[in-house]
């Protein structure tokens, strides 16, 4: 048998095995996968998998920075129009909005927040985190009971990461945060922030530009307020599905894998997101619109 035929046959066999594993385990993943999903109206999640595992947060921890920022605005210690100074040590060259910022220039809080969430701009996140201080960001996490969430380094500080200094969170932590935000938008009692602040959080998340995991996996059109996080071995996405709607739910997908398996990991995450939504809608079918 020619080697090329053997290789092609082996690849087809591997693909067949992979399909069989996915069929027997719909949550199969080429690495570590943590899941959390819960409807706003329910007391418990309808999906849990490694929910309390402490994993690299990548940029989803920027939501905690956002909560800290809106709390400062609620308290009158900060305004959306205030300008914060961008220091040299905070600049990350690849940042979409502020990667070419000139040190010591100043940017409005509103623009920094917009860039941090919608584009995951790392320079903007570093500026806001330094303004709040890491201690206060972590105090926000503790006040919300986010036991595995901790900001320990600047974004894209790979030297710190190489020393084992990592920003962390869990699927349960992110799910709890988003549930609190959605409750806050409805004026429900919550420790997170004011109703207007919670609505500001959802509004900026709805403008998220990276829609390639949870939104891409859904087989239906529905508003999704999400925040992603990416490193070479990490892909995270957390979201409020149908915020302000009649029956919203939150979902958190955190993953870690070998960089060489990133293509397969991304594809599986999209499929997992779709399965979660299919499961939610099959368990809790939405009311049909009235006939016209």
CB 238 within 8 A of CB 227: yes
- Using alpha carbons, list the distances in angstroms from residue 174 to 81, 156, 225, 275, 281: 28, 21, 13, 19, 22
Q: Is the pTM of this model over 0.85?
A: yes
Sort strands 106-108 and 47-49 into parallel, antiparallel or unpaired.
unpaired
- Using alpha carbons, list the distances in angstroms from residue 286 to 43, 93, 174, 246, 282: 19, 45, 25, 9, 9
Q: Using one digit for the tens of pLDDT, what is the confidence trace for 56-99?
A: 999 999 999 999 999 999 999 999 999 999 999 999 999 999 99
CB 243 within 8 A of CB 182: yes
Q: Which of 137-151, 180-194, 224-238, 251-265 has the lowest mean pLDDT?
A: 180-194
For residue 264, how many C-alpha atoms fall within 13 Å in the half-sphere facing its CB? 16
**Domains of the chain, first to last:** 27-283 (3.40.710.10)
CB 168 within 8 A of CB 149: yes
User: Does the pLDDT value for residue 2 go beyond 90?
Assistant: no
CB 45 within 8 A of CB 170: no
Q: What is the mean pLDDT of residues 133-141?
A: 98
> Which helix (H) or strand (E) is 236 found in, with range?
strand 234-241
Taking alpha carbons only, the member of 260, 210, 251, 257 closest to residue 234 is 257
Taking alpha carbons only, the member of 253, 175, 256 closest to residue 214 is 253
For residue 216, how many C-alpha atoms fall within 13 Å in the half-sphere facing its CB? 14
């Amino acid at each position: 048998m020619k080697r090329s035929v053997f290789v092609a046959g082996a690849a087809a066999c591997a693909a067949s095995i992979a399909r069989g594993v996915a069929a027997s385990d719909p949550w199969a993943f080429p690495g570590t996968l943590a899941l959390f999903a819960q409807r706003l109206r329910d007391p418990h999640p309808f999906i849990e998998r490694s929910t309390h595992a402490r994993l690299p947060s990548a940029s989803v921890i920027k939501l905690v920075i956002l909560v800290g920022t809106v709390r400062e605005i609620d308290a009158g210690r900060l305004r959306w129009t205030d300008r914060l100074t961008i220091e040299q040590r905070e600049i990350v060259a690849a940042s979409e909005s502020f990667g070419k910022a000139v040190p010591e220039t100043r940017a409005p809080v509103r623009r920094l927040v917009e860039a941090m969430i919608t584009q995951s701009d790392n320079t903007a996140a570093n500026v806001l985190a330094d303004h709040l201080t890491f201690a206060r960001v972590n105090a926000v996490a503790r006040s919300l009971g986010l036991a595995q969430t901790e900001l320990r380094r600047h974004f894209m500080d790979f030297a710190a990461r190489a020393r084992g200094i990592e920003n962390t969170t869990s699927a349960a932590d992110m799910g709890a945060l988003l549930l609190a935000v959605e409750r806050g938008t409805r004026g429900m009692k919550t420790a997170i922030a004011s109703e207007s602040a919670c609505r500001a959080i959802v509004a900026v998340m709805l403008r998220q530009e990276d829609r390639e995991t949870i939104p891409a996996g859904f087989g239906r059109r529905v508003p999704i307020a999400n925040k992603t996080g990416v490193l070479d071995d990490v892909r995270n996405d957390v979201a409020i599905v149908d915020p302000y709607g009649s029956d919203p739910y939150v979902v958190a997908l955190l993953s870690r894998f070998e960089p060489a398996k990133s293509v397969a990991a991304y594809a599986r995450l999209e499929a997992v997101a779709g399965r979660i939504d299919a499961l939610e809608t099959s368990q809790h079918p939405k009311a049909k619109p009235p006939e016209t």
